[in-house]
Amino acid sequence: MAGESGSGLTGAAAPEEAAAPAALAATVTGRGRGGEPAGGGPREARARRLRRGLRPWLLLAPALLVLAVLLFWPLVRVLQLSLQDYGLREINTGESNYIGLGNYREILGDSFLWTKVLPNTVVFALACVLLTVAFGTLVALLLQRLGRVWRTICSSVIMMAWAMPAVTGTYVWIWVFDPLDGVVSGGLDALGLIDPEQTNWFTDRWAFYAIAALNVVHHGFPFVAVTVYAALLTIPRELPEAALMDGANAWQRFWRITVPVIRPVFLVVTILSTIWDFKVFAQVYLMPGGAGSNEDVLNLGVWSYIQSFSRNEYGMGSAIAVLLTLLLLGITVLYIRLLSRERDEL
Amino acid sequence: MLHTPMGRPPLRRARRLVAGAAAVLSLGALTACGDDGGDGGDSLQLWIMEGTNPDAEPYVESLKEAFEEQTGATLDVQFIQWADAHDKITTAMAGDELPDVAEIGTTWAPEFGAAGALTDLSETIESEGLADDLVPALREAATVDGAVYGMPWYAGTRSLMYRKDIFEEHGLQAPTTWDELRDVALQLKELEPDMIPFPVIGGGEYSVDAFIWGAGGQIAEQDGDQWHSTINSPEAVEGIDFYTSLATEDDVSVAAASTWLETDQLESFQNGQSAMVINGNWTVNTLLADDPSWADKIGVVPIPGPEGGFSPSFVGGSLLGEFNSDQPDLAWDLIELMSTGDFASQWAESSGYFPGQQSLLDAVVAENDPLVAPFAQQMSEAGASVPVTEAYGTIQGDQVVTRMVQEILSGDASVQEAADEAAASMDETFGG
């Protein structure tokens, strides 16, 4: 039916159609610029304009409806739940039990959040993002230098790391670092560095997160490597060649040419890695002690899950989830502003 | 994307998209109300756990037949996984799609009962004359403030399992007191240096519970309506101290065990690493199924008490709960059919668990199978249940007890400090 209304129009309708989604995208990135196309005459023209304005929305409606059902409604429910003391009893009766900002007050007033959960989440995520982007970039630079055969081999291997589901990967890393029978402890034992019977890496906060970081970086770097490699291919060959003629070494060429040219790509992979690394769940939850029995290693995601589904305090769990979302939104907005400033400069 | 190179919208594709989206949406609507069919008419819905009983299929078939013969109603059986059963029931509760009858873990009865989702069966059980013939620990576990939120179906308990072949080889005796347990573990450490004499695990609550109860302590006590934790009482601390000192002082465990779950402990026994473990009776079947020669290698004794006697062990298992069925009589017929008589003993036997009826359990003890009777004895003479209150479900979800053990094992806190912390954490949940 959306098509019907437009069937009388000619190709001239196309630019306006594009305008609405573009305007939508522009407002999302904070750079609105849309304007009304100049209308012709009296009523008929206005009606036509209305129809034209409506049409993209009609076309978007199914997708928006699906999004509303699948994304927007759950979001609203989480917000609602975060303002309630909501347990099994409420689930059974379907009643609401609003307590205002009580959950938030309790969480923010808990020193546990500030000394354990938040540092675990933030420091871990920052370290992982840094390592993922750095390692991914190094691999991309390597791929660029390799011949075709080795490049194919390397990228296939990288893809395998990427394709491995997080749960499987986590179990592999647990197995690698098993304190008693693992490969690592076996090796260190053979070297006489540790006594496996006295070792348990999973109980120590730093060792626990070091293993989790290995897991997350291993799972995350292929995306960075592939994306940065693709970006490297877009650098005009004249630039590094000219620099080479001027006597710039590899280090200078990387920082003076490669980085500035593909900076937007770096920003994008950093944003995405940040979002992913802030909300790691399976990689921590599945590790020994990670599901709550070791309070030292809880992060925001696992804490929210435990509050909701182990303690049946769905309101509290939702409030933690909302805080995590706000944190991520804040970081994303920061990045996007950086990105758009970048684009303006170009 | 919606533009052809000509700049005209591709009508057919747009229509297809709309139609596709409509189809997706209506599909969602269909599945959302698809489950209601089972509740109407003379049909009853039953959820039971998958994997407990290897011969579940034929059992269910004969149950369906017997039920239809007895009542004329059909039975719709769904298997669900233990691991996500709790979440699944909660979700069904939220979506108003609960079955008529479901198998529930004993520790869930207080939570779901307090939430108002389960029917109180106490009067029916009483009037059917079944009340006096239930295994006490199980009945206790299902009873909250006089209401009984489920009929005991089957249960199991943990006892001390040891490597009989190795004990015989070195002329060792199974321990009957705590001192003997320590001595035999220390001897094994000398005699079998490659083995772990007795893993002290930090990822499972029920091993340490046995020692708390054995020393005469309690996890929590009820005073009127109010529960308060007693896990930091001198008796309880003595039990925790004995259990953890086996690792921290006597060194008969390994550091890795401080994050082991019960399954890891079983695995270490199964691959020949551990010499003694506290394991459930159902694991015997697992071991035998893996390798029948285990029959000659396993010895079982009830968990010893400090000066002889037994340390009580948690009796866990399943209840059959009625989720406010609109056909309560039919639901009870089903529950009675499953939890008493032939169907109950048949299920228990093929699943490797014990029936919830005392008379059926006594029959198992009388058979005197060396791999079964010690467990059955533990269950009927020294069985216990964790505090029966909704709040304890929350405390278990929070892993308060395992966290306490892990802190002690990793040296982060002394026994008393960790116990005080656990008690404070529990009292906060109890609202004391």
Is residue A304 within 8 A of residue A317, CB to CB? The reply is: yes
**One domain, residues B131 and B204:** no
Which two three-digit tokens encode residue B168? 């015989």
Contact status of A69 with chain B (Cβ, < 8 Å): yes
DSSP letter string, B133-171: GB-HHHHHHHEETTEE--EEEEEEEEEEEEEHHHHHHTT
Contact B25 A65 (CB under 8 A): yes
Distance CA(B159)–CA(B207), nearest Å, equals 9
Q: Using the predicted structure, report yes or no on whether residue B8 has a pLDDT greater than 90.
A: no
3-state secondary structure of A91: helix
Contact status of B87 with chain A (Cβ, < 8 Å): yes
**Comparing C-alpha atoms, which of A119, A143, A319, A336 is closest to residue A221?**
A143
Let me know if residue A128 belongs to a domain. yes
Count CB neighbours of A15 within 10 A.
11
Q: Using the predicted structure, report yes or no on whether residue B229 has a pLDDT greater than 90.
A: yes
pLDDT tier at B432 (50, 70, 90 boundaries)? low
pLDDT tens digit string along B322-354?
999 999 999 999 999 999 888 998 888 888 899
Contacts of B9 in chain A (CB under 8 A): 3, 6, 13, 17, 59
CA angle B93, B97, B98 (to 5 degrees): 65
- Nearest by CB to residue A62, choosing from B18, B93, B115, is B18
Residue A316 lies in domain: 102-345
Q: What residues 243-262 of chain A have any CB closer than 8 A to a CB of chain B?
A: none
Q: Which residue of B has its CA nearest to A312?
A: B394
Backbone dihedral region for residue A100 (phi beyond 0: left; psi -120 to 50: alpha; all else: beta): left
Contact A3 B11 (CB under 8 A): yes
Count CB neighbours of B37 within 10 A.
11
List b or e across B40-77, with b for residues whose CB sees 16 or more CB atoms inside 10 angstroms.
eeeebbbbbbeebbeebeebbeebeebbeeebeeebeb
Helix (H) or strand (E) holding B317: strand B313-322
Domain count, chain B: 2
Residue B32: predicted pLDDT? 40
What one-letter code names the amino acid at B75?
A: L
CA A310 to chain B, closest CA, distance in angstroms equals 4
What ipTM goes with this model? Answer: 0.77
Q: Which residue has the higher pLDDT, B50 or B298?
A: B298
Do you know the residue count of chain B?
432
Phi and psi at residue B72, to the nearest 5° = 80, -5
Sign of the four-CA dihedral B175, B178, B181, B184: negative
**One domain, residues A176 and A324:** yes
**One domain, residues B307 and B319:** no
Distance CA(A274)–CA(A340), nearest Å, equals 18
pLDDT, mean of each 10-residue run, chain A (346 residues): 38 39 40 44 81 88 92 92 90 86 92 92 95 96 92 92 92 92 90 87 92 95 95 90 89 90 90 90 92 89 90 92 92 83 67
Let me know if residue B273 belongs to a domain. yes
Q: Which of B3, B4, B8, B31 to mutate to test the interface with A (most CBs of A within 10 A)?
A: B8
Distance CA(B332)–CA(B305), nearest Å, equals 40
Residue A340: predicted pLDDT? 79
pLDDT tens digit string along B66-124?
999 999 999 999 999 888 888 899 989 988 899 999 999 988 998 899 888 999 999 99
Let me know if residue A239 belongs to a domain. yes
Which two three-digit tokens encode residue B336? 């009675």
Let me know if residue A89 belongs to a domain. no
Distance CA(B120)–CA(A184), nearest Å, equals 54
Phi and psi at residue B73, to the nearest 5° = -95, 150
What CA–CA distances, in Å, run from B96 to A81, A206, B29, B32, B77?
18, 44, 15, 11, 18
Let me know if residue A35 belongs to a domain. no
Domain count, chain A: 2
Count CB neighbours of A252 within 10 A.
12
**One domain, residues A24 and A158:** no
3-state secondary structure of B305: strand
pLDDT tens digit string along B35-58?
443 344 589 999 999 878 877 889
Let me know if residue B141 belongs to a domain. yes
pLDDT tens digit string along B264-281?
999 999 999 999 999 999
3-state secondary structure of A317: helix
**One domain, residues A172 and A281:** yes
Q: Using the predicted structure, report yes or no on whether residue B31 has a pLDDT greater than 60.
A: no
Contacts of B403 in chain A (CB under 8 A): 292-295
Let me know if residue A95 belongs to a domain. no
Q: Does pTM surpass 0.95? A: no
Contact status of B34 with chain A (Cβ, < 8 Å): no
**One domain, residues B277 and B352:** no
Distance CA(A24)–CA(A333), nearest Å, equals 16
pLDDT tens digit string along B134-184?
888 888 889 988 899 999 999 999 999 999 999 999 999 999 999 999 999
Residue B191 lies in domain: 159-313+387-430
- Nearest by CB to residue A91, choosing from B93, B254, B397, is B93
Residue A345: predicted pLDDT? 62
CATH number at residue B61: 3.40.190.10
What CA–CA distances, in Å, run from B351 to B182, B223, B354, B355?
33, 38, 9, 10
- Mean pLDDT over each residue of chain B, to the nearest integer: 87
Helix (H) or strand (E) holding B312: none
